[in-house]
Amino acid sequence: MFTTAQGGPIDPTNLTRAFTTLLCRAGLRRIRFHDLRHSTATLLLEQGVELVVIKELLGHAHIGVTATVYAHVRLHLQRDAIDTLSTALDGPANDESTRDGDNPPLCGATVR
């Protein structure tokens, strides 16, 4: 919760004005103050923080709300995971240095 220097509630117009001034001074594009909340949740999700933890931080009553709002981030993370798996499965089969003496080479498979 943000308050004025006197401890009272901040007028939303004054908050927007002060935030816009800070963005301008920093050379950043204009965004809504509320966008900071969305950016924080997105960054947390991308860093592997569990969806249920983000739900609690945001104060959503149901995890379905959080899952719906951040579904695009989860899809991106799923694609990254599949790409990582594809690289892991594809890599060793093509690398002669991974052969271990008498053992056959590791098997790699292409993920499509």
Retrieve residue 99's tokens.
């052969």
Q: Structural domain boundaries of the chain? A: 34-94
User: pTM of the full predicted structure?
Assistant: 0.60
Identify the residue with better confidence: 48 or 20: 20
Q: What is the mean pLDDT of residues 8-22?
A: 92
Q: How confident is the model at residue 78 (pLDDT cuts 50, 70, 90)?
A: confident
DSSP tag of 99? -
Give CA separation, 74 vs 50, 69, 85, 97, in Å.
Answer: 11, 10, 16, 35
Structure confidence at residue 29 (pLDDT): 94
Asked if the model's pLDDT at residue 25 lies above 80, the reply is: yes
* Averaged pLDDT score across all residues of the chain: 82
What integer pLDDT is reported at residue 28 of this predicted model? 94
53 neighbors 67 (Cβ within 8 angstroms): no
